[in-house]
Structure 1
Amino acid sequence: MNTLPSNYTLKHFPIPTAILNRELKIIDYSDTFTIHFAEKKDFKGKEIIRVIEELPPQLHTDLRKSLQGTTAIQNDNHKFFLKTNKPKWLKWNINPWQGNEGTIDGIILVLEDVSDFMREQELLLKAERVSKTGSWELNLITNEIYWSPMTKLMHEVPLDFLPVLEEGLNFFKEGDSRDRIALSVSNAIADGKPYDEELVLITSKGNEVWVRAKGEPEMVHGKCVRLFGTIQDIDKEKKAELKYLETSERLQIATAVANIGIWELYLDENIVICNDNMYDIYGLSKDSSNILEDWLKRIHPKI
């Protein structure tokens, strides 16, 4: 429960604040309230819904509810849409205030437009989903770890999952992947070395996923105080790459064993590229300045 602040104090409030009576008419307000929410400078005695035309229904509900109780009502980021369908986010704190007789005579409303910040956060979350990239942060002062929703989704853990460092490292496949991430994190903390690794992650449901793990240390006076980074799902691309390398290796083995020559002719440049077997079969010199010409000389004239 609050009592009314002095006019001088209210005028210089750093955040938009207005004092309303029981009819939700404005008694007084801060300069910042005028700057952020009102076109006209003098609107004392007017209902707040007349001063700010587009307010979310939830704020109306909370204002009425506040007049019935003695506790503050808070909303940190309420999203709604204007008549133009443009999204907007408001943050508010509503406190009832008492008159001389101890009754609730009105409301102190702190109202902030947090649209720019929330829009940026929403875009970051959408970018994470599109690129399948999660973010994380390790505070080495408090030992607190933050995983973004996408990071939790990639690990297939609940959104209320609270990670710890050792448990987070254990999600990586035992062996090469776990050893490399443990060493990378250790070097980042000890020496301030960033890392960028392609590793195998084992989700909480036992699924193997290739990820790209990146970490960046934040150093203060030569000591790492924070480690943050990203983890990206590259499973589809990595498995395709490994499949290609496997197929290519098998082809190389097959051509070597069967003594098969392979060549490519680029017509625009009259350049021939061939494997080692082609050199041996045709008796070509790898140092030749014109492989195409030497090759054509060795082709039977009747062909």
Structure 2
Amino acid sequence: MNDHMYETAFKLLPTPILLVSVGAVCTVSAINPACGQLLELSEKEVKGKEFVNIFFSAANDHQSALQECQKKVCNDKMQHEIKELKYVPGNKLSGTADKYLRVLFTPVLNDEGDLLQIIVTLIDITDIVVARRTETSIREALSSNQKFLNETQRVARSGSWEADLITNKMTWSEVMREIHEVEPDYEPTFASSLGFYSTDEQRTALTNLVQDAIATNKVFDIELEIITAKGNIRVLQCSGKADLAEGMPARVYGTAQDITERKKVETALLESHNRYQDLVLAVDGVVWEADATTFNFTFVSEQACSILGYTPAQWLSEPNFWVNHIHKDDRESAVSFCQLQTQKARSHTFDYRMIKANGEIVWIKDIVSVITENGLPKLLRGIMVDITETKLLAELDHLEKEVLELNSKQVATLEDVLNTYVRGIEGLFADMKFSILRLVSNKLYNWSSPSLPAAYLAAVEGLEIGPEVGTCGTSAFLKQTVIVSDIATDPKWSAYKHLILPHNLCACWSYPISDVNGNVLSVLGVYYNTAKSPEEDEIAIIERTAAILKVILENKLYEATIREVNMLVTQGQELANFGNWQWDIRANKVTWSDVLYTIYGQDDKTFQATFEGYLSMLHPDDIDRVKNLIYNVVETGEDIMFEERIIRPDGEIRHLKSWGRVIPDESGKPSKMIGACLDITKAKESETKMKEIAWIQSHVIRAPLANLIGLVNMLDDMSADAEQQELLRHILHTSHELDNIIRNISSKTKY
């Protein structure tokens, strides 16, 4: 290469370079255009002038450093550099800022090792220096607010950390130390920080993420488990990022949030969620991948055949396959939802219906992950799970709740409830036809069979049960489930198949519904248009339906029994003049039975029963005694029985006998008081009459008798005739017997 080529190459170099001649005075022999542009000087301005005095103006204060470095190169003939040098252009243009340079001195030697010249290479590091100083300023500002930051981190249980890759220094915030349960003066290192993580796998994972962040300048985020200095296990959400300086990694910094409590809650929720998901996870799903923009599928697993009846090739060959095979009622909402979530780069889960290859409807739970590239959605990956059975069970739950609520209403007849339930089940299971037959005197009568032919129902109405009387008749007779998979060939239907086969009903399964005593109340029948045996899930549905029907029937039967009992109780209370009451102590609300209103002579439409109202109707002589008795019961909780007198609105005095009991709440405090009241006025009147009779017996009848006894005793003492004395003794004995009888009668009527 000749000198001209060297000169051309020198001028075309993008790196600013000066050539300095060596002698008593080192002068600039040449600069390339890149150097002139950097220094804002022309070659004419610097060529032949002393390197230190001419190249840098008097405004610079780094001449000593330049002289020292130049001197070292001349002496040891080795490369030297000044890492940072402030440069102020001598002829500053308007608006031109100061510059910071890295200056590299490279000696050029001849074959004998003599120094010929020095190549001075200039590297503009202005941006790096400014950035570093800006960062220093920011750090100082952050330091002044460190207390606030620490408190904020403490509330969030989030500590910060920084690893200086240049000084190999690790820094932790106060909260970071608190999370790791170390002393406030603890100084972490790279090695000691990794030592807190519980396993080698976690340490390796964190190390790999940090190295990847340094290499790619990406943010990392990971959950890791640590063992604190006090031996406690904590879960941390660790995030971090690397900073570069001059293209080289300078530091890695980030946060570590203590999410231990949140993970405990999440674990508990996950366990609960997993129990629910067991059914879904046990079912094969369609694994798929699609374009995030067009929704065209790029991959579909083989499970597509078993769930939807389409091969992967069919999915992939037809554009918009997924959209076109969504149920028409769900298409718009499902596609719009997926598009919206995809645009926001959010993973999402949603349910919708699809049409299978055979025309059947299948419910799909689609679990979708959005894969991004440069922040934009690129791919969709997910799994489609058949949740048809789960959806049916949910709808069955809803139907059962609706039917049981209807059954609880007195206005709803049993026939209304049964028809609502049967039609609802048939709506969920289109291939089943349900029948509920009532058993009365060993004969079956239709209760609810909305989908069975009327002619068939009329033909079997009142059919007597027996060991081979179709499916339902046999089930009721044997009191057990009976399965007939093929009506045409089963001997139980030999005498009746001509009634049912013309209606294309080919299979029938029956389930007896019995009361608590084992007596069959009714029979549940399930008919199919094809000959078939029940599968496990179908048996489960039938047993569940039978259980609900048993609740419905028993409820209605008990309801009728309760109405009858209530009627008898009411009649009994009316006949016995016996009423009951309930007192809500806290609300001071008193509830009376109808008979009690009659006893008190009050109108239930105008009289508002309260404790004070009750006291106001007591006889004045009984108020304090009864009030104290009731207060004592509320305080002690003991049962009570007492008698009282009331004055009815018409002024009539009635005698009552009352019973009371306190009902406490969960804490043991009195909540309400219940009791009963018997009108004993007539008994009291009878008692008074009996006392009057006793008085008459004691004073009116016994007084003459006593006189008679006295006279007989006197005559006996005066008579000497033996026959007369015998007669007198007989009269006296008879008189004493009569007196004893009167005494016994008086003692029994005394109280």
TM-score band by shorter chain is 0.5 to 0.7
Rate the CA distance shift 1:41–1:131 in 2: closer, same or farther, 3 A: same
Partner of 1:226: 672
The alpha carbon displacement at 1:230 in A equals 1.0
Q: What's the CA shift for 1:192?
A: 1.6
CA distance in 2 between counterparts of 1:142 and 1:35 reads 47
1:17, 1:30 within 8 Å by CA — same for their partners in 2? Answer: no
Q: CA 1:196–1:40 in structure 2 vs 1: closer, same or farther (change >3 Å)?
A: closer
1:174 alignment partner, one of 617, 620, 628: 620
1:15 to 376, 387, 404: 404
Measure the CA separation in 1 of the matches of 2:437 and 2:593: 31
Partner secondary structure for residue 677 of structure 2? strand
How far apart are the structure 1 equivalents of 2:651 and 2:575? 24
- Tell me, which stretches of 5 or more residues in structure 2 are unaligned? 1-391, 408-418, 427-433, 439-444, 458-551, 715-723, 729-751
**1:29 is the counterpart of 2:424:** yes
> Match for 1:237 among 663, 683, 686?
683
Deviation track 1:39-84 (CA, whole Å, cap 9, x = no partner) reads 567524899xx9xxxxxxxxxxxxxxxxxxxxxxxxxxxxxxxxxx
- Match of 1:12, SS? helix
1:302 is the counterpart of 2:727: yes
1:156 aligns with 2:601: yes
Between Structure 1 and Structure 2, whose CA radius of gyration is higher? 2
What amino acid maps onto 1:300 in structure 2? Q
CA distance in 2, matches of 1:140, 1:34: 51
Does 225-234 or 110-119 show the bigger shift? 110-119
Contact 2:436 2:449 survives alignment (8 Å): no
Runs of 4+ in structure 1 deviating by more than 4 angstroms, as ranges, are: 33-42, 44-47, 253-256
Rounded Cα–Cα distance in structure 2 between residues aligned with 1:16 and 1:30: 16
Question: Aligned runs of 1:1-303 on 2, under 5 Å?
Answer: 7-13=395-401, 15=404, 17=406, 28-29=423-424, 42-44=449-451, 113=556, 114-160=559-605, 161-175=607-621, 177-220=622-665, 221-249=667-695, 251-252=697-698, 258=703, 261=706, 300-303=725-728
In structure 1, C-alpha distance between the alignment counterparts of 2:653 and 2:628, rounded to whole Å: 21
1:152 partner SS: helix
The count of corresponding residues between Structure 1 and Structure 2 is 201
Q: State the 1:140 CA deviation.
A: 1.4
Residue 670 of structure 2 aligns to a residue whose secondary structure is strand
When you count helix as a share of all residues, which structure comes out higher? Answer: 2
Is the alpha carbon distance of 1:203 and 1:154 closer, same or farther for their aligned partners in structure 2, counting shifts above 3 Å? same
Work out the CA distance in 1 between the residues paired with 2:404 and 2:699.
Answer: 72
Q: Give me the whole-angstrom Cα distance separating, in 2, the residues matched to 1:174 and 1:261.
A: 44
Give how far 1:194 is off: 2.0
Give the unaligned 5+ runs of structure 1: 19-24, 51-109, 263-276, 284-298
Contact 1:213 1:230 in 2 (8 A): yes
- What letter is aligned with 2:689? K
Question: 2:437 touches 2:447 (CA, 8 Å); kept in 1?
Answer: no
Q: 1:17, 1:29 within 8 Å by CA — same for their partners in 2?
A: no
Query: Closer, same or farther in 2 for the Cα pair 1:179/1:41, shift >3 Å?
Result: same
Paired with 2:574 and 2:453, the residues of 1 have a C-alpha distance of 45
TM-score using structure 1 length: 0.53
Mark the CA change 1:117 to 1:173 in structure 2 (over 3 Å): closer, same or farther: same
Indicate the SS of the match to 1:125: helix
Percent of pairs identical after alignment? 16
Q: 1:115: Cα distance to partner?
A: 1.6
TM-superposed CA distance for 1:282, in Å, is 6.4
- Tell me the CA shift for residue 259 of structure 1: 7.9
Deviation at 1:150, TM superposition (A): 0.3
**Larger RCO: 1 or 2 (CA < 8 Å, sep 6+):** 1
Question: Could you say what the CA RMSD is over the residues aligned between the two structures, in angstroms?
Answer: 4.3
SS in 2 for 1:213: strand
Q: How far 1:132 moved relative to its partner?
A: 0.9
